[in-house]
Amino acid sequence: MSLLSVENLNVTFPGTAAVQGLSFSVEAGQCVAIVGESGSGKSVTARALVGLAGDNAAVSAQRLHLDGKDLLHLSPGQWRGIRGRHIGFVLQDALVSLDPLKTIGSEIAEALTEHADMPRQDVRRKVLDLLTSVGIPNPEERIGQFAHQLSGGLRQRALIASAIAANPALLIADEPTTALDVIVQAQILALLREMKAKGTGIILISHDLAVVASLADHIVVLKDGAVVEAGPPSQVLSRPQAAYTRALLAAIPSVETKGQRLTFGSGTPDVPAARPLQDGGTAVEARSVTKSLGERLVVDKVDVRLVAGETLGLVGASGSGKTTLARLLLALQQPDQGEVLLDGGPWSHLSEKQRRPHRPRLQLVSQDPLGSFDPRYRVIDILAEALEIIGLPKREWTRRATELIRSVGLSDSHLLRRPRQLSGGQRQRVAIARALAMKPDILICDEPVSALDVSTQAQVLDLLEDLKRQFGLTILFISHDLGVVHHVSDRVMVMHAGRIVEEGPVGEVFARPRDAYTRELLAALPRIPLSSIASKAKGYPHDHILDSSVHIGA
């Protein structure tokens, strides 16, 4: 008998069906992964399984059994007996998933005492045991601390400890590693694997096939609330049947996709290079720049040389100083020491007034395009503002704006929308269109695809590649995602704690990392069996090569 069996689960909200006809079962000591992009219904499923889909959700199923017990017709009180006691639940980002006003000790104790009367002394001892079992050092000290006093990794461990406190047979983990750096992510996945080995059944919810690959015994791919493919990893990842799964796998940027298009079905287009690729000269250069914010040294004697015509990748964990470095290059902030040069001439040393005429040459595409648009403006106003600055006569604005919006793959009707009415991917295209309006030579892309779904990310990355060829752009591409950086870059720099720890041609750095931190970063990357990507890239039918594997972006 399965630990959990779900047959034909449906969740509907007024007017929309969030989940339709989902069936799967979880055995003790096994992991089922539910994978999908935003809006696929994966989180709704997770919440429905603990009776928390919401007041306005209608949940129905042919069968919903936990350990032989029917979950379909429980009263609120009976559900409370299931939650925590029989099903543990872990959310993403423990900073917001643990009550910031409570110590982690009391959070874990709450999960214990809710289901069993226990003397105070026993509770404390049990909490300490739990902290130890999820790998938190110095539990005596940590038990009295608050979530904000712990690092991201320790926090996530504490959250897991609170979920497994009452020793539930089933654990549901909803994007448990999404907010974490690659290295910490690998540690948390190892912890989940350990629990699986001890006999806990796990449902892993994720948008990321690569994360799932190492843990899942069974993978369910959801799209718009319906199952598009389900099966063991050997099938779903290596011999995907559904076009959507293939597109999803193909959209993941990696070593193998280099020079390829990520959007499914399209080959490398023959976009004519309107301007010849520049090369050789130095476009932007930072010489030993240092910057402190408050007491913290954020950028520490960094040298950057962005060669005209190249794409330079800058990779590092969050808080490593990447964004501050970008702001120094854009001369939005002044370095405490060192200097930034543009085309070999002064840049950071100029006054803002002297810089202004040269600003159009150096444009930014940021992670949060919405924040970069005046909320009162429509798309056409946003573009017109840029066109006015480069001195285009007013009568040309409409024509040029139409040209620009088409060149980023949107249609004329988008010109009259407000950014708030656009999707994340569309907004990023508008931001790129505005940057292009300035006819820049250099584009600084700061985590431009981090907030996007895999398939949208693929479209935006392809677009950037096309535009680079078409306009001969020089690009500095900043990301925490090694796969993305590998895909787009010619050269790569690895940043860690404010310093550049490694720099070189992208293939070389990824194949033979010299720095210890780079090695650790690469080793922590989740892997997908190679065959699926290889077969897609070369157009082979699904086959062989299951033994080798490659690094895939997180």
- Subset of 110-169 contacting another protein (CB under 8 A): 110-111, 114-115, 146, 148-149, 159, 162-163, 166
Instruction: Give min distance, CB of 141 to another protein, in A.
Output: 15
When asked if residue 538 is in the footprint of another protein (CB under 8 A), the reply is no
The correct pick among 15, 68, 375, 541 for binding another protein (CB under 8 A) is 375
The correct pick among 70, 122, 303, 412 for binding another protein (CB under 8 A) is 412
* Residue 282 neighbours by CB under 8 Å, 6+ apart: 305, 306, 307, 308, 341, 343, 344
Buried/exposed code over 333-367 (b: 16+ C-beta within 10 A; e: otherwise): bebeebbbbbeeeebbeeeeeebeeeebbbbbbbb
Reading the block at residue 193, the tokens are 């694997």
* Residue 362 neighbours by CB under 8 Å, 6+ apart: 284, 329, 330, 342, 440, 441, 442, 444
Q: List, in sequence order, every residue forming a beta bridge with 138; answer none if it has no partner.
A: none
Show the binding pattern over residues 166-205: x = contacts another protein (CB under 8 A), - = does not: x---------------------------------------
Instruction: Give min distance, CB of 396 to another protein, in A.
Output: 11
The correct pick among 5, 177, 257, 366 for binding another protein (CB under 8 A) is 366
* Residue placing its CB nearer to another protein in the complex, 275 or 439: 439
346-354, long-range: CB within 8 Å, 24+ apart, which pairs? 347/284, 348/289
Instruction: Give min distance, CB of 539 to another protein, in A.
Output: 42
C-alpha closest to that of 22 among 234, 185, 220: 220
Instruction: Give min distance, CB of 15 to another protein, in A.
Output: 17
Instruction: Give min distance, CB of 360 to another protein, in A.
Output: 6
| Contacts (CB under 8 A) with another protein, residues 31-60 | 47, 50, 52
Stretch of residues binding another protein (CB under 8 A), selected from 280-288, 311-319, 362-370, 523-531: 362-370
When asked if residue 99 is in the footprint of another protein (CB under 8 A), the reply is yes
Residue 100's alpha-carbon distances to 73, 107, 139, in angstroms, are 34, 10, 18
| Contacts (CB under 8 A) with another protein, residues 467-506 | none
The CA distance from 355 to 342, in Å, is: 10
Instruction: Give min distance, CB of 98 to another protein, in A.
Output: 6
The correct pick among 243, 332, 511, 516 for binding another protein (CB under 8 A) is 332
* Residue placing its CB nearer to another protein in the complex, 242 or 438: 438
H or E element at residue 87: strand 87-90
When asked if residue 377 is in the footprint of another protein (CB under 8 A), the reply is yes
* Residue placing its CB nearer to another protein in the complex, 298 or 384: 384
C-alpha closest to that of 528 among 242, 236, 258, 315: 236
The correct pick among 7, 300, 339, 368 for binding another protein (CB under 8 A) is 368
When asked if residue 82 is in the footprint of another protein (CB under 8 A), the reply is yes
The correct pick among 42, 65, 83, 429 for binding another protein (CB under 8 A) is 83
When asked if residue 319 is in the footprint of another protein (CB under 8 A), the reply is no
The CA distance from 432 to 467, in Å, is: 10
Q: Three-state DSSP class for 351?
A: coil
Which residue's structure tokens are 């970069």?
372
Reading the block at residue 170, the tokens are 């089933």
Summary count for the chain: helices (H), strands (E): 21, 23
* Residue placing its CB nearer to another protein in the complex, 171 or 213: 171
